[in-house]
């Protein structure tokens, strides 16, 4: 699927064989030891928010943002807005950590997503950690999905991207080749952790945790733009999605 208009789609579907298994995941959770064995892929995600507090001051941190230092109703000054900026802003309606979060809004049944980008300022291997809360609006346009996390080669919707994970209309947490990591409910927080590595010039290794539990890993072909990704990309393709406790960290 290719994104058209402003942030409407999800980037090209990965070609070639993909390994997606519930193996190879670190035993270290986002904020401490994992509490159980990694579940099989497609197992329903259990919402376990204990031990998922915002990890202030961890030694490998590059940057973090819990959106507490911005005025409610404004767009966060350290982020770049794109797409539907009119109804994307710092909100105090729901939060994962503290009192505020970033609300992005994509126009339902349209190709007008809410987009936010921030410079990664890190080289692989690194981890992205972000809490996501999806709204329950009816959606069903050309790209009927909700929140999305990705990498962007630049600061405009037309730049090459690698979609890492997105929340589908039918309640699935999915990676870019449409493999399912688990189920989700709207109006609930999910803490996502993604580890991005480059084992060699031709491959990318991705590992996924949801709510402190490892749910799968991928070994995928590197794209022609793999060395060009400079920004974290948060999207709400249709409807509202809130993002909080965003962290980028360098993990050797």
Note whether residue 12 is domain-resident.
Answer: no
Note whether residue 3 is domain-resident.
Answer: no
Note whether residue 229 is domain-resident.
Answer: yes
Q: Structural domain tally of the chain?
A: 1
The pLDDT confidence band at residue 251, using thresholds 50, 70 and 90, is confident
Note whether residue 175 is domain-resident.
Answer: yes
pLDDT at 116 over 70: yes
Note whether residue 13 is domain-resident.
Answer: no
> Quick check: 193 and 211 in contact, CB under 8 A?
no
Closest CA to 151 of 188, 175, 117: 117
Note whether residue 4 is domain-resident.
Answer: no
Q: Which two tokens stand for residue 125?
A: 């291997």
Q: Which CATH number fits the domain that encloses residue 78? A: 2.60.120.560
Note whether residue 10 is domain-resident.
Answer: no
The pLDDT confidence band at residue 252, using thresholds 50, 70 and 90, is confident
pLDDT at 82 over 80: yes
Highest mean pLDDT out of 19-33, 50-64, 180-194: 180-194
The string of pLDDT tens digits covering residues 208-233 is: 999 999 999 999 999 999 999 999 99
Q: Which domain holds residue 65?
A: 19-250
Note whether residue 1 is domain-resident.
Answer: no
Angle made by CA atoms 149, 58, 94, in degrees to the nearest 5: 50
- Classify residue 171 by burial, with Cβ atoms within 10 Å: 0-12, 13-18, 19+: middle
């Amino acid at each position: 699927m290719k994104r058209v208009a402003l942030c409407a789609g999800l980037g090209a579907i990965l070609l070639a064989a993909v390994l997606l298994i519930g193996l190879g995941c670190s035993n270290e959770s986002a904020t401490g030891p994992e509490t159980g064995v990694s579940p099989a892929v497609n197992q329903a995600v259990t919402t376990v928010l204990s031990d998922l507090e915002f990890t202030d001051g961890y030694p490998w941190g590059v940057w973090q943002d819990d959106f507490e230092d911005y005025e409610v109703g404004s767009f966060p000054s350290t982020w770049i807005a794109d797409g539907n900026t009119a109804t994307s802003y710092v909100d105090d309606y729901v939060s994962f950590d503290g009192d505020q979060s970033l609300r992005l809004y994509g126009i339902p049944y349209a190709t007008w997503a809410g987009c936010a980008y921030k410079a990664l300022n890190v080289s692989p291997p690194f981890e992205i950690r972000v809490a996501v809360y999806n709204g329950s609006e009816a959606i069903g346009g050309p790209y009927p999905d909700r929140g999305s996390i990705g990498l962007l080669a630049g600061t405009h919707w037309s730049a090459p991207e690698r979609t890492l994970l997105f929340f589908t209309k039918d309640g699935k947490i999915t990676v870019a080749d449409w493999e399912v990591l688990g189920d989700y409910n709207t109006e609930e927080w999910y803490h996502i952790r993604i580890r991005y590595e480059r084992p060699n010039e031709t491959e990318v290794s991705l590992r996924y945790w949801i709510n402190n539990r490892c749910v799968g890993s991928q070994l995928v072909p590197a794209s022609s733009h793999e060395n060009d990704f400079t920004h974290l990309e948060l999207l709400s393709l249709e409807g509202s999605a809130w993002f909080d406790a965003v962290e980028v960290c360098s993990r050797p």
